[in-house]
Amino acid sequence: MAIECSVRIRRIPGYPAAGGDAHDAPLVRLASNESPFPPLGAVREAIEHALISLNRYPDPSNSLLRRRLSERYGVPISRIAIGNGSCDILLAAGEALLEPGAELVYAWPSFSIYPHLSASSGARAVTVALDESERHDLPAMLREITVATRLVIVCNPNNPTSTALPLSSIADFLAEVPPQVCVVVDEAYCEFNQLDDPETSVAMLEEHPNLVLLRTFSKVHGLCGLRVGFALCGSSRLPEALDQVRQPFFCNALAQAAATEALAHEDAVIDRVTRTVAERISMQERLAALGIEVADSQANFCWLHLAEDCDEAEIMRGLQERGVLVRGGRALGSQAPALRVTCGLPGENERFLAALAEVLAPATTR
Ligand SMILES: *Cc1c(COP(=O)(O)O)cnc(C)c1O
């Protein structure tokens, strides 16, 4: 007889794995929005240096990393939270803010972790459809806020649709949200967003104590294998609450050392962003030339719509047979066949585009 689990286990959706870990051929990994660039030399050195003291527990208050983030963003240390990846901060925020009877508002399709927050807490999830350009519909989200709402999540740029809203619309939205409702703006991809400078949202924290900007070292810094993210908050209330619900040593010593060092190499980050954005623009143009509808990406990935009569699973299989891993849209909440494709190195994108053209060819000549 199987062990008996809590009821909430039945509500929590499983995260679809990208697959491909068992292959040994060189795969083109464009399924998880990872950075194609390996960690910087100086970051690797910082990790090696930290290895010597692994017999000690990590700093539970992440003081050096928070100090550097505070210097970098001009946000007081008490208003900065660290997490074992930014997903850890999201899940802990769910635990700290939600409970049965409470409500959570987010757009859909959006980041696949958000449904976990309601499922694990027993709160009610209110999902709001994206608008026709696949952006968050903030006026509609505002209409869903009730006295029971504790948390609203805005993913900007949005995963999986890659689109972003101008920060001015988010500012207008924040002006209307009741002050007791926490608004998390998930900015995992903000460095790739060309609509606004990522510093602009930081300035909004001064006016909105209920605002939380969620950032990560996983994407632009290429450290997703280590797990470290952070939140810049409008007040110290959420960082304090997060510490209450989590284990003390949630961020390991290597992650703290690597993230701290990564912050000292802004020039390299800018260079990588420039290269990724150039690839994104080229990929969008070449997809459009194949007759494929592509969303206006402001992230390090593209979101493409396949023809309505297209079998998404078959396209994925065809790409996989050619050694290219991407993410299918249906598993990410899309009603119509779609693909989410990370912008990799030029050669990787080349392989993806060639494979896609091949896989689509029989369908178009049919
Ligand atoms: C990748 C991603 C994150 C980052 O998750 P980590 O736990 O920091 O690796 C957060 N939000 C969104 C929308 C993402 O796509």
User: What's the whole-number mean pLDDT along residues 128-151?
Assistant: 97
The answer to whether the CB of 111 is under 6 A from ligand 1 is: yes
pLDDT at 362: 67
From atom 3 of ligand 1, which residue's Cα is the shortest distance away?
Answer: 188
User: What's the whole-number mean pLDDT along residues 327-345?
Assistant: 97
What's the rounded Cα separation, in Å, for the pair 288 and 340?
15
From atom 10 of ligand 1, which residue's Cα is the shortest distance away?
Answer: 188
237, pLDDT greater than 60? yes
Q: For residue 348, how far is its CA from the centre of ligand 1 (angstroms)?
A: 22
The answer to whether the CB of 187 is under 6 A from ligand 1 is: no
Residue 87 CA: nearest ligand 1 atom is 7
The answer to whether the CB of 85 is under 6 A from ligand 1 is: yes
User: What's the whole-number mean pLDDT along residues 272-301?
Assistant: 97
User: What's the whole-number mean pLDDT along residues 346-353?
Assistant: 97
Q: Best of 30, 65, 87 to mutate for ligand 1, by most ligand atoms within 8 A of CB? A: 87
What's the rounded Cα separation, in Å, for the pair 182 and 209?
9
Is 231 in contact with 202 (CB distance < 8 Å)? no
pLDDT at 19: 62
pLDDT at 11: 85
SS3 at position 48? helix
Query: Percentage of the chain with pLDDT > 70?
Result: 96
Tell me the pLDDT band of 139, cut-offs 50, 70 and 90: very high
Which of the residue ranges 1-15, 51-65, 118-132, 173-187 would you say has the lowest mean pLDDT?
1-15
pLDDT at 55: 98
The answer to whether the CB of 224 is under 6 A from ligand 1 is: yes
pLDDT at 364: 52
SS3 at position 300? coil
The answer to whether the CB of 188 is under 6 A from ligand 1 is: yes
Residue 86 CA: nearest ligand 1 atom is 8
pLDDT at 21: 55
The total of other beta-carbon atoms located within 10 Å of residue 114's CB is 23
How do residues 3-51 score in pLDDT, each as one tens digit?
A: 888 888 888 887 666 665 555 568 999 999 999 999 999 999 999 999 9
How do residues 200-222 score in pLDDT, each as one tens digit?
A: 999 999 999 999 999 999 999 99
pLDDT at 366: 43
Residue 216 CA: nearest ligand 1 atom is 8
What's the rounded Cα separation, in Å, for the pair 127 and 257?
38
User: What's the whole-number mean pLDDT along residues 121-137?
Assistant: 97
19 against 128, higher pLDDT: 128
User: What are the CA-CA distances from residue 89 to residues 185, 224, 225, 348, 355 (Å)?
Assistant: 12, 15, 17, 32, 37
Q: For residue 203, how far is its CA from the centre of ligand 1 (angstroms)?
A: 22
How do residues 157-170 score in pLDDT, each as one tens digit?
A: 999 999 999 999 99
268, pLDDT greater than 80? yes
pTM value is: 0.95
What's the rounded Cα separation, in Å, for the pair 259 and 222?
10
CA triplet 19, 300, 118: central angle to 5 degrees? 65
User: What is the separation of C-alpha 305 from the centre of its chain, rounded to a whole number of angstroms?
Assistant: 20
Q: For residue 228, how far is its CA from the centre of ligand 1 (angstroms)?
A: 10
The answer to whether the CB of 149 is under 6 A from ligand 1 is: no
134 phi-psi bin (left φ>0, alpha ψ -120 to 50, beta other): left
